[in-house]
Amino acid sequence: MTTPYEEPERAAQNSGGEVADVPVDPGKIIAVHVAYESRAAQRGRRPAKPSYFIKPASSLAGSGATIERPEGTELLAFEGEIALVIGRAAKNVSVENAWSHVASVTASNDFGIYDYRAADKGSNLRNKGRDGYTPVGPRLIDARGVEPTELRVRTWVNGSLAQEDGTSDEQLIFPLSQFVADLSQHVTLEPGDVILTGTPAGSSVVAPGDVVEVEVDAPNAPGTPSSGRLRTRVVEGSGRFDESLGALPAVDDKQREEAWGSREAAGLPAIAPAADAAPAASADAGPAPTGPASADAATAPGSPSALPEDMRRRLLDLPTAGLSAQLRQRGLNQVSIEGVAPSQPGTKLVGVAKTLRFVPAREDLFKKHGGGYNAQKQAFDAVGDGEVIVIEARGEPGSGTLGDILALRAKSQGAAGVVTDGGVRDSAAVRDIGLPVFSSASHPAVLGRKHVPWEADVAVACGNATVLPGDVIVGDDDGVIVIPRDLVEDVVDGAEGKETQDAWVAERVAEGHPVDGLFPPVGRWKDEYESWLASRDQPSTGSGENQ
């Protein structure tokens, strides 16, 4: 064991598959229920004050250890967390002085079996207190060398990033120092005691064979100190519980939803909202981060499905200028997303709209909705194959509305592209990723300078055009247009006919004929064009006016 102020290297990362020593020796382990804005948004419950529970010291484990999912249970969930290790006794300390009582920080994993959550009734003893259910380590970061607002926690499952969040005022509901000060009002925090500070969004279920890794670091601190990766492998436990001794494990759909993180992740059917239900959220609390907020958005034609491949190919071959002309002939003039251009000239964009809305920056609202797993991150995580994320940024270019990480995430999800009437950060890196991105400008500032991420999958106004989820988005060097889903077939047929006509006219002009009466064909030229079409056994499908 190491004492809280020993050098972190004393509790080095395990190697060769060995189990590392636990780098702490606490008298008590105190865990916070909900601390991150992202977790509160995911759960739909935001606490007004912090709350806690106790974990036994026998639940500690080192990096490289295994954790058992007991036979007969199904919902073992991980929770990557930052652990605070007390260095000096704390009793009735202030928030301002609380951090001086913290010796070190490290990674922890607050594992739990949701099968026992209801039976525990909040104590979490059987749910989270089992042997090995509190891995900690592998190294300690000296708290004197880091700011409590600049830590980061990340969790990987089988090598894929599952959780990432920080400890800024915008990301945490309560600052880390508040936990120390608050707890010290009730119990004396003694050297070696551990406080688990809650988990961000992204916690979910793991199964035997899965490997979970958690790392805590301070990427902006001198030397970029890190705990190293805390590694735990899940195995199947043996034996069953004796009903004569106590409660047996039991689950329902509510526990499955909360363990997995969502009904969708748990494989449960979505709950349809009541038709006459009024919006539940106040303006201050903000709406749910995803889901349509109006009947128009909810019933957008075709919104649940991607474009058929043959239609996508046809749209790729058509210019926005020709499609715009067809829409104008059908009485639709307000369908151009103004002021946006491709990050790479020559880019073609075709896909179905998935919408994201930002509201103007306001400090109190950004604190609630801007940090953690906010609506912006949720939208980029949820974008589907062939969808275009269309962002309403009110034409405000004074900060980025996405950067290279989110662009990379969208591309990995199969997104067709992004359209934003705001700015793009890391523009060179975004361009190199190869995802079609149309924006109004490049800007180095982060989102919170001008915007609060508010909601997704609703009607938005992007570049003075209204876009509904499910609308078809087409972009090229001339700009971006919006095609209502129910008009796509008709518009494409008309545009293809006009392209055929324009190609025939171009050949005649190249032969030296003047454009008068030829562009578009009228009189003799119209007769010749229709004869040419008939000779190709193709009906005339468009004779729109020149734009």
Q: Which residues are annotated as a binding site?
A: 403-406, 425-426
With residue 259 as reference, give the H or E element that holds it.
helix 253-260
Residue 490 · residue 375 · CB < 8 Å: no
Three state DSSP letters for 305-374: CCCCHHHHHHHHCCCHHHHHHHHHHCCCCCCEECCCEECCCCCCEEEEEEEEEEEECCHHHHHHHCCCCC
CB atoms within 10 A of CB 475: 25
The pair of three-digit structure tokens given for residue 19, joined into one six-digit string: 């189990």
Cα separations in angstroms, 208 against 25, 236, 451:
28, 5, 42
Residue 52 · residue 32 · CB < 8 Å: yes
Cα separations in angstroms, 278 against 157, 176, 464:
39, 37, 28
Cis peptide before 308 (omega within 30 of 0): no
Check residue 125 and report its DSSP letter. Answer: H
CA-to-CA distance for 533 and 541, rounded, in angstroms?
10
Residue 407's closest CA among 393, 394, 392, 388? 388
Bind-site residues for substrate: 403-406, 425
CA-to-CA distance for 317 and 311, rounded, in angstroms?
10
Residue 170's closest CA among 362, 397, 400, 380? 362
CA atoms within 13 A on the CB side of 423: 20
Bind-site residues for Mg(2+): 426
| Terminal CA-CA length for the chain | 78
Q: Which residue matches tokens 């009734």?
A: 121
Strands 211-217 and 387-392, bridge-based pairing = unpaired
CB atoms within 10 A of CB 540: 14
Q: What are the backbone angles phi and psi of residue 124, rounded to the nearest 5°?
A: 65, 15
CA-to-CA distance for 470 and 485, rounded, in angstroms?
7
Amino acid in the structure at residue 530: E
CA-to-CA distance for 179 and 183, rounded, in angstroms?
6
Residue 201 · residue 164 · CB < 8 Å: no
Residues of the chain by 3-state class (helix, strand, coil), percent to 5:
25, 25, 50
Q: Which residue matches tokens 């006009």?
A: 498
Amino acid in the structure at residue 278: A
CA atoms within 13 A on the CB side of 250: 7
CA-to-CA distance for 76 and 204, rounded, in angstroms?
8
CA-to-CA distance for 117 and 113, rounded, in angstroms?
7
